A and B are shown apart, each in its own frame.
Chain A
Amino acid sequence: GNSVTQMEGPVTLSEEAFLTINCTYTATGYPSLFWYVQYPGEGLQLLLKATKADDKGSNKGFEATYRKETTSFHLEKGSVQVSDSAVYFCALGGSQGNLIFGKGTKLSVKP
């Protein structure tokens, strides 16, 4: 069945460091792919999405490219800030309109 695998955390970085959070998926067809972010004590917010191969989603300096050949949707940011500290979830869209989430990666950015 469809599934999402993302890198285990936690990830701890210094401010202005480069961030990569790996996400790979297993799916039939060409699902939409998403990154959601959860700040402490809050619900999830959509960070970015891509709906077809080679699409690049971007928002708030974060980017992820839908790579069909490697079944990946890695999240990147060139220079992280303390305010980016959160848990990041990779997800793919199921055929029933549902979302299938990865286990989440906690990011801590130190000043």
Chain B
Amino acid sequence: GAVVSQHPSRVICKSGTSVKIECRSLDFQATTMFWYRQFPKKSLMLMATSNEGSKATYEQGVEKDKFLINHASLTLSTLTVTSAHPEDSSFYICSARDLAGGPGYNEQFFGPGTRLTVL
């Protein structure tokens, strides 16, 4: 089956530093990847849609200068949390859609998530 990896799985950083999270589709090509944020006991909040070779589309209320997204290839998207602060501590999850599914194909394959803790 389709596998999506995330790295790192857990990161602890100091306030003011930047953290990069990688999302890779291991056995399929993904034109579109999605980045979610999950707070404790809350549902997933879509942060942005990442399209290969173009700028990401951010959801309302998400600061694009703070959460930098790059989708440089069909198998890799990165999320960089810039100048992280304690309120950015959260569980970040990425997902990817299989290119072979065609436009409008909704099934997404999720990474295992990255636990970010900002001290």
Contacts and interface: CB of A to CB of B under 8 A. Distances in A.
Contacts of A106: 41
A43 B103 contact: no
A78 B111 CA distance: 29
B110 A43 contact: yes
A103 B106 contact: no
Contacts of A98: 34, 46, 49, 106
Interface residues of A, number: 24
B43 A42 contact: no
B112 A43 contact: yes
Interface residues of B, number: 24
Chain B interface mostly helix, strand, loop or mixed? strand
A12 to B, nearest CB: 15
Interface string B33-70: 01000000111101001000000000000000000000
Contacts of A104: 42-43
B84 interface: no
Contacts of B32: 97
B71 interface: no
B93 interface: yes
B95 A44 contact: yes
A59 interface: no
B53 to A, nearest CB: 16
A97 B43 CA distance: 19
Interface of B: 4, 6, 32, 34, 41-44, 46, 49, 93, 95, 97, 103-113
- Can you list the 10 inter-chain pairs with the closest CB atoms, starting with the nearest? A93-B106, A44-B110, A43-B110, A103-B43, A43-B112, A43-B113, A104-B43, A32-B106, A43-B93, A43-B111
